[in-house]
Structure 1
Amino acid sequence: MSHWNKVYELHRILSERTQPVSQATLLQELDCAPATLKRVLQTLRDLSAPVDNVRGLGWRYGEDVRGRFELPGLWLSNEELHALALLDQLLDQIDPGLLRRPLAPVRARIRQMKALLPDAQALGRLKLLPQGRREVRPATLGTIARATVARRRLRIDYHSRSKDEHTAREVSPQHLARYRDNWYLDAWCHQRGALRRFAIDRVHGAEQLGEVAHDVPPETLQAHLGSAYGIFAGPAAATAILHFSPDRARWIADEHWHDDQHGRWLDDGRYELHVPYSDPTELLMDLLRHVPDVEVIAPQDLRSAFVQRLRAGLERHAR
């Protein structure tokens, strides 16, 4: 029985008994040593339980609160608290400004419960490491999130990295998505009359408007935003056929690149992966991480673009 399960069981015993319960009885019912019982009693006291010790007789809850005291918050096992510890860490990484205020009471309770774990110090060994996260303005992210849920239009000031230009857009938010540690807004752009995807870190200002957002049918959203590789939107225009070396294949065979991917092992130990894509930009970036263990077999324009990037990199390093 875990420490927290013993705490819960002791609470149950003391809540149900009207007379003090002896140490011998508690040791037998909790199946523990005297030192463990001492720690369990101390945990109950840390949780403000009304534990009284009647000299020579044992322990009980005070008569004025017996049957009315309840353990605070949700009662969770050690394993569940470990999971919550990771969730608490993840909330910090998602964005402290977006969820800080509404979840502050819940997170304070989680941290209080974490502190009571016998291995609380070891929780620091559980880590979630962000990669490539770009900073967003908390107020901007909060405004976009509220408008997405409330189904209201937004006016945003957007700076496009690819074109290096600032534009003012009126958009109807459809989805707010977090992908590879960064936030993106899928929205109907009223200036362009089409679906667009905006990186939230490039939104320099956002204002919720009074007009009701235009809703794009789910099947249209899925067709436009969900069928291609990675974050680049658009229906899949082609399927990449990739061969990975036997050494790399052991990893690639277990990785999820796309919902519609499929692969097979080749006779020589290589792994062949088929991945639908629209814009090749992100796919090419991912493939470069696997050099020299990947070969682009098809289509030819993707193979040529990959070779061009490899050559450009070699030329830069040969200077």
Structure 2
Amino acid sequence: MDKFDRIYALHKLLSDARYPIPRTAIQKKLECSRSTFMRLVNTMRDYLGAPIEYNDNGWYYDSNGEHPYELPGLWFNAQELHALLAIHKLMHDLQPGLLDEQLKPVQKRIEHLLQSKHLGSGELTDRVRVLAMGVRTHADAFQKVAEGVLQRKRLKLHYHARGSNQTTQRTVSPQRLVHYRDNWYLDAWCHKRQALRNFSVDRIKQIKILEQRAEEVDQQTLQDYFADAYGIFSGKADHTAVLRFSPIAARWVAEERWHPRQEGEFLADGQYQLKLPYSNPKELIMDILKYGPDVEVVGPESLREAVREKLKLALGNYEASG
């Protein structure tokens, strides 16, 4: 009996009972230990608002003369529901062969939960959708990249960079896999550049796992390099973008999280000003451009000029054709 089944079973016991029920009788019915029983009680009290009380005779629901307590049909919050469905989708889309045997039991448990009668007997996956945008087909390299990361071995790559349209050969010490905006990336120490680099897994054209042990980079260094700046185009943040959004766009942007260290405020005229650190502006510029006339780059001037140039080039496409 899993946690959800026990919650429903305990709810039914207490709802149907005319008198308090001894703890030992409940434990026997639920097939659980005393500590498990107490965790269930605390969960139901703290997260589900269940009026569970105790006296010398046992445990019971205290309705205080009001309507009998009922469990909510679904007690996930938005983040928990997204996480559950995202895990299910990730495991469904996982490259064949990677940890198949180890992950099968986990996948079965998640599917059992999603198909549970407590969550609508399979309705959840039909009625709630998690849409992936901009997903790129993963290269066959994914499995070897993952093996290199987990086994701590160096990788020899033939990597095609979209920006330069060039293919280079690299030997890297893989540090970690990153799933970002529905695509996979590899954080690694590049022995060619003698520096940390980020690689899009779908652009790895050839890969070989080497016997040589991967060089280790401590977690704090990885965090400082890859997590400090805006987005996946990381590096130590050395600039702060100041963006000003129109009152209309502010309705959305004010509730969005662009960066863990962002600062935002509404201005007197209804505009919303957002400040955030960045290093490589490439991805930041893409996110700025999607707001079109509803955003202005206040600073720094280098970012303002880069966005202005992109807009000129875009306008040129239409002027040339018109």
CA distance in 2, matches of 1:283, 1:113: 38
CA contact (8 A) 2:91 2:107 kept: no
Q: Would the alpha carbon gap of residues 225 and 28 (structure 1) be closer, same or farther in structure 2, given more than 3 Å must change? A: closer
Runs (4 or more) in structure 1 with deviation over 6 Å come to none
1:135 corresponds to: 137
CA distance in 1, matches of 2:137, 2:273: 36
CA contact (8 A) 1:89 1:128 kept: no
CA distance in 1, matches of 2:303, 2:186: 27
User: Which shows bigger deviation, 253-262 or 126-135?
Assistant: 253-262
CA distance in 2, matches of 1:191, 1:212: 16
CA distance in 1, matches of 2:109, 2:121: 14
User: Which shows bigger deviation, 200-209 or 278-287?
Assistant: 200-209
CA distance in 2, matches of 1:159, 1:181: 20
Q: For residue 210 of structure 1, report the CA deviation from its aligned partner.
A: 1.6
CA distance in 2, matches of 1:283, 1:214: 31
SS at match of 1:142: helix
- TM-score (norm: length of structure 2): 0.71
Q: Would the alpha carbon gap of residues 191 and 276 (structure 1) be closer, same or farther in structure 2, given more than 3 Å must change? A: same
CA contact (8 A) 1:240 1:277 kept: yes
Q: AA paired with 2:110?
A: I
Q: AA paired with 2:134?
A: G
Q: Which has the larger radius of gyration?
A: 1
1:223 corresponds to: 224
Q: For residue 274 of structure 1, report the CA deviation from its aligned partner.
A: 0.9
Deviations 1:264-317 (A, max 9, x none): 221111111111111111111000111111001111121111111112112212
Q: AA paired with 2:225?
A: H
Provide the alpha-carbon RMSD of the alignment: 3.4
SS at match of 1:169: strand
CA distance in 2, matches of 1:151, 1:27: 54
SS at match of 1:264: strand
1:245 corresponds to: 246
CA distance in 2, matches of 1:70, 1:224: 49
SS at match of 2:141: helix
SS at match of 1:258: coil
Q: For residue 29 of structure 1, report the CA deviation from its aligned partner.
A: 4.3
CA contact (8 A) 2:226 2:234 kept: yes
Q: Superposed, which structure 2 residues align to 1:64-79 within 5 Å?
A: 79=74
User: Which shows bigger deviation, 165-174 or 216-225?
Assistant: 216-225
1:316 corresponds to: 317
Q: For residue 7 of structure 1, report the CA deviation from its aligned partner.
A: 6.5
Q: For residue 99 of structure 1, report the CA deviation from its aligned partner.
A: 5.4
Q: Which runs of 5+ in 2 are unaligned?
A: 19-27, 33-39, 41-70
CA distance in 1, matches of 2:267, 2:186: 40
Q: Superposed, which structure 2 residues align to 1:10-49 within 5 Å?
A: 28-29=16-17
CA contact (8 A) 1:93 1:130 kept: no
Matched-pair identity in %: 39
Q: Would the alpha carbon gap of residues 7 and 142 (structure 1) be closer, same or farther in structure 2, given more than 3 Å must change? A: same
Q: Would the alpha carbon gap of residues 156 and 237 (structure 1) be closer, same or farther in structure 2, given more than 3 Å must change? A: same
The reply on whether 1:262 has 2:258 as its aligned counterpart is no
Q: For residue 176 of structure 1, report the CA deviation from its aligned partner.
A: 1.1
User: Which shows bigger deviation, 111-120 or 301-310?
Assistant: 111-120
1:162 corresponds to: 163
Q: AA paired with 2:117?
A: L
Q: Would the alpha carbon gap of residues 163 and 93 (structure 1) be closer, same or farther in structure 2, given more than 3 Å must change? A: farther
Q: For residue 88 of structure 1, report the CA deviation from its aligned partner.
A: 4.9
CA distance in 1, matches of 2:304, 2:92: 36
Q: For residue 181 of structure 1, report the CA deviation from its aligned partner.
A: 0.7
SS at match of 1:240: strand
Deviations 1:191-226 (A, max 9, x none): 221111100000123222222111123333233222
Q: For residue 90 of structure 1, report the CA deviation from its aligned partner.
A: 2.8
- TM-score (norm: length of structure 1): 0.72
Q: Superposed, which structure 2 residues align to 1:270-309 within 5 Å?
A: 270-309=271-310
Q: Would the alpha carbon gap of residues 181 and 108 (structure 1) be closer, same or farther in structure 2, given more than 3 Å must change? A: same
SS at match of 2:243: strand
Q: AA paired with 2:311?
A: L
CA contact (8 A) 1:189 1:195 kept: yes
Q: For residue 153 of structure 1, report the CA deviation from its aligned partner.
A: 1.2
1:125 corresponds to: 127
Q: AA paired with 1:258?
A: H
Q: Which runs of 5+ in 1 are unaligned?
A: 14-25, 31-66
Q: AA paired with 2:115?
A: A
Q: AA paired with 2:89?
A: L
Q: Would the alpha carbon gap of residues 192 and 28 (structure 1) be closer, same or farther in structure 2, given more than 3 Å must change? A: closer
CA contact (8 A) 1:173 1:187 kept: yes
Q: AA paired with 1:90?
A: K
CA contact (8 A) 1:94 1:181 kept: no
CA contact (8 A) 1:134 1:201 kept: yes
SS at match of 2:291: coil
Q: For residue 162 of structure 1, report the CA deviation from its aligned partner.
A: 1.4
CA distance in 1, matches of 2:254, 2:8: 45
